[in-house]
Amino acid sequence: MELVVFAEVLPNVRSMTMNVGLLTEKKSSSFKLGIYPLRISLEYKNKSTTQSLQTVLNLSQTIETDDKPVIISSQDSLDIRLKLRSYVRKKPANQPSVKDTHPPFSANELTKLKNIQCVYCKTPLLKTNAFSKIMDMPSEHWEELVDCWMCHQEDYQQARMSDIIARENIGLVGNTYFLIHPKDVKSDTVGIEERLAQVDWSKGLSKKWRPLNCTRCLCPIGEGLYQKTKKAEENDASELSLLAIRLSKQAVLVELESDTNESITQRYPFSAFIAADLFEAAKAHATYRFIIEGQNSNQTYALIWLFGWDTKVITNSLRDETQCCKFSPSVAQSCIAIKSDLKPYNVIKLLYIDCTSQSNDKSSSILGQWQKDKTVEHLVYHNDICLQILLMLKVSTSCLPFSKRIMNGFSVGFIDIHGC
C-alpha cells in the first residue's frame, strides 16, 4: 500500500504543493519526510499495528533543499509546500512542453492511413484507398484573422473567402476532426441523427451541419453538411444533398499500416480533444471563459474558466478508475482524468460550474452574466460529449484534497493536455 498523495507543480513560479493523506490519529503513528534534489520519500508507521506505508515521488525539476519546507498539519492530512530551482536537471521522458502541444493525428502522422473506424463498434467507415492525398487544415478561426493578414489598403471584397469544402479523394485534417467527401465514405455507415424532414430549412442558411451517428451502433460520430434545394423548402428530405462529413477525432479509431503490413489502431484521447479545442478558442479569441452547450438541446451543461496551463499534477488518489464503468467501457475510458501512477502530467487547471445540477442563486447569477458577456466563448458539442466533459471534470475534482475543491463558488478541476 501507498500513502494517498496529490502534488501540484508550478514550474514557472518554482513552487510545489503536496497533500498527503493520513490514515489514523497522529498519536498512534509517526510520519517521516525525506526531501532530496530529485526525489521525495514519505514513510508512515502505525505504532499500534506496526503497519508501514512508503511512497516515493520522482521529480524532473530540482527541489531547493536549502529552504525548509512549509508544513501545515490537520487531523487527516499534511500540506507540504516546497520551493523549486529554476533549472531542470532531469528531463522527463515523453513529456513535451505545453508550448509544443499539438493535437494528435496530423497529416504527417497519417501517411500510412489504412482506414477510419467507429470507436464504439469498430466498423470501417472509409472506402478502400479513399485518399490520394491528406492535408492539414488551417486554424478553425482563420476567417477572423484575415483582417490581421490583410494589412494593405487594397479592397479585398473580391477575395474568395468561403468555407473550406471537402474534396473527393482528399482527406483534410482539422484540429479536432477529419473533413471527408461523402463519396469517400462507405455507403450506409453513417446516418443523420434526426429525421431530415423535421429540420426547418426555411430559416437560417441553406447549408446546415447536422449530427451524424454510426448506423451500426447509433453512437455519435460527427456531423454532416446538408444543403437544401428548391423542393427541400417544403421539408422534402429526399431533395437534400450531403456535401461533407466531419468525423470527430475522439469518436473514431485511426487504422494505420505498419512496416510489417500489420494494422495498428490508435485512438484520440478524449481529454486531449477537449484541451485542444480550449487552446484553439483561447488563442483565437483571447478569452478564458467558456459556456459548454449541447448541440441537440441547446442546454447549458457547464461554465469553464481557464485558470492556468503551466501546471503539472502528480497523484495516486484515483483508486477506483471512476464510477463511469456503469455507463460503458468507452465512456469510462473517456472520464479518466489522469493516470494514478505518481508520474507528472501536464494539465490545464480550471474552474467550472455544473449547470445540470440544481443550481443556487450564485451559480444562476454567474450563468446570466456570462450569457450576456460577448467576451465569453460558446463551445457546442453533442449532448453525450457534454456529459463526458462534466464526468471527467468531476473525477479530476475528486483527486483534490477536500479543502481545495471549491474556489469562489466554482469547482476546481483539471484536464490532461496530452491524454491518458
Amino acid at 375: T
Q: Distance (Å, rounded) from C-alpha 181 to C-alpha 161? A: 20
Is residue 367 within 8 A of residue 303, CB to CB? The reply is: yes
CA-angle at 6, arms to 104 and 93, nearest 5°:
40
Report the phi/psi class of residue 341: left, alpha or beta, with left for phi > 0 and alpha for psi in -120 to 50: alpha
Going by C-alpha positions, the residue among 121, 39, 31 that lies closest to residue 78 is 31
CATH 1.20.58 fits domain 5-83: no
Out of 3.40.50.1860, 3.40.630.10, 2.170.150.20, 1.10.730.10, which CATH number does the structure's domain 105-267 have? 2.170.150.20
Question: Residues with Cβ < 8 Å from 31, sequence gap 6 or more?
Answer: 20, 22, 42, 43, 44, 45, 78
H/E run at residue 276: helix 270-285
Provide the whole-model pTM.
0.82
Is residue 416 within 8 A of residue 346, CB to CB? The reply is: yes
Q: Distance (Å, rounded) from C-alpha 274 to C-alpha 43? A: 37
How do the pLDDT tens digits run along the chain, 420 residues long? 678 899 999 988 889 999 988 766 556 678 888 988 888 998 888 777 777 888 888 888 888 888 888 988 877 788 999 999 876 655 555 555 555 566 778 899 999 999 999 998 999 999 999 999 999 988 766 666 666 666 665 555 555 556 678 899 999 998 889 999 999 999 889 988 766 556 666 666 678 888 899 999 988 899 999 887 655 455 555 567 889 999 999 899 999 988 777 888 888 788 888 988 898 888 877 889 999 999 877 789 999 999 988 899 999 887 555 445 444 455 555 567 678 888 888 999 999 999 987 667 788 889 999 999 999 999 998 888 899 899 999 999 988 988 899 999 899 999 998 876
DSSP code of 274? H
Q: Distance (Å, rounded) from C-alpha 396 to C-alpha 415? A: 8
Going by C-alpha positions, the residue among 287, 313, 317 that lies closest to residue 416 is 313
Q: What's phi and psi for 325, nearest 5 deg?
A: -60, -25
Q: Where in the chain are the domains?
A: 5-83, 105-267, 269-416
349: three-class secondary structure by DSSP: strand
